[in-house]
């Protein structure tokens, strides 16, 4: 499979999942609001720990994907939270939630786990220079499952990111991102990765690789599912990368 063919598949499933989430947007937003029905029983108990809200948001997203039969779930213990097989790919999808108080965690890159991607490359400093010693990122996923065999099938990685207010937990922004398959390191090199907090951890620099560069008509690697226009101007400025995509990606 050529690099261009890989990007065609990545673009194909990015569009499929985007249209699926837009189709299910009303159900998704309703699901996020169901917490309000029992608010008096949980309010104040999650404190500053965002993982509690993340678990609730994950229930809604995963229920939609699993309920609609998007693919065959896979029981492999190494993988993203959602890992399933379709006719021409194995697909990993992970959910990332970010509070407005930590808005900087989502403006240009996001943390990625080793079990969520296949992109092996050098992690460089923001200025493009190497660390001493060099940091080589080693993901746990293969670029292809059963590589070289008759039943070979590509491994694709996607992320759903949700930005929410840290006080009332209102959803402000939902995005869908496609991280390049590891075979594309021949084209994108190290710019896909940014340093994580630890030497062996990395972040996906989606702002440095915003499009499928190998396609005849380069398309965005990021789709904006939801953008709350009523958010403050300050937040709109912080999320301007997503707002521009939202405005220019066209109607559903």
Using the predicted structure, report yes or no on whether residue 46 has a pLDDT greater than 70: no
What mean pLDDT is predicted for residues 228-243? Answer: 96
Return the H-helix or E-strand segment holding 214.
Answer: none
Q: How high is the pLDDT of residue 69?
A: 64
Mean pLDDT of the chain: 91
CA 185 to CA 149: how far, in whole Å? 22
Strand 193-195 relative to strand 89-99: parallel, antiparallel, unpaired?
Answer: unpaired
Q: 3 falls in which pLDDT band (50, 70, 90)?
A: very high
Using the predicted structure, report yes or no on whether residue 208 has a pLDDT greater than 80: yes
Q: 48 falls in which pLDDT band (50, 70, 90)?
A: low
In terms of CATH, what superfamily is 3-248? Restriction endonuclease BglI (3.40.600.20)
pLDDT 10s digits, 92-106: 999 999 999 999 999
Q: pTM of the predicted model, to two decimals?
A: 0.92
| Alpha-carbon dihedral 26, 20, 107, 144, rounded to 10 degrees | 150
Contacts of 16 (CB under 8 A, 6+ apart): none
Q: How high is the pLDDT of residue 47?
A: 57
Q: How high is the pLDDT of residue 73?
A: 84
What mean pLDDT is predicted for residues 236-248? Answer: 96
Q: How high is the pLDDT of residue 29?
A: 83
Contacts of 240 (CB under 8 A, 6+ apart): none
- What does residue 232 show for φ and ψ, rounded to 5 degrees? -65, 155
What mean pLDDT is predicted for residues 241-252? Answer: 86
Look-up of token digits 């970010």: 98
Could you please report the per-residue DSSP string of 116-157?
G----EEEE-TTSPEEEEEEEE--SS-SEETTTSTT-EEEEE
């Amino acid at each position: 499979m050529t690099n261009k063919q890989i990007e065609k598949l990545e673009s194909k499933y990015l569009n499929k999942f985007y249209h699926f989430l837009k189709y299910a947007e009303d159900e998704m937003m309703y699901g996020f609001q169901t917490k309000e029905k029992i608010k008096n029983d949980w309010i104040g108990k999650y404190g500053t720990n965002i993982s509690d809200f993340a678990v609730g948001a994950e229930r809604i997203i995963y229920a939609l994907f699993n309920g609609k039969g998007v693919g065959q779930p896979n029981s492999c213990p190494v993988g993203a939270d959602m890992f399933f097989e379709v006719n021409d790919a194995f697909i990993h999808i992970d959910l990332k939630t970010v509070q407005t108080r930590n808005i900087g965690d989502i403006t240009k890159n996001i943390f990625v786990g080793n079990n969520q991607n296949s992109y092996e490359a050098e992690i460089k400093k923001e200025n493009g220079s190497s660390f001493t010693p060099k940091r080589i990122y080693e993901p746990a996923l293969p670029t292809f499952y059963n590589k070289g065999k008759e039943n070979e099938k590509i491994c694709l990685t996607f992320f759903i990111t949700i930005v929410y207010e840290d006080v009332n937990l209102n959803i402000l922004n939902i995005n869908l991102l496609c991280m390049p398959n590891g075979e594309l390191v021949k084209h994108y090199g190290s710019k896909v990765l940014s340093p994580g907090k630890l030497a062996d951890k990395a972040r996906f620099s989606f702002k440095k690789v915003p499009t499928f560069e190998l396609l005849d008509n380069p398309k965005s690697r990021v789709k904006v599912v939801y953008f709350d226009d009523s958010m403050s101007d300050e937040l709109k400025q912080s999320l301007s990368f997503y707002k521009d995509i939202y405005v220019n990606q066209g109607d559903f």
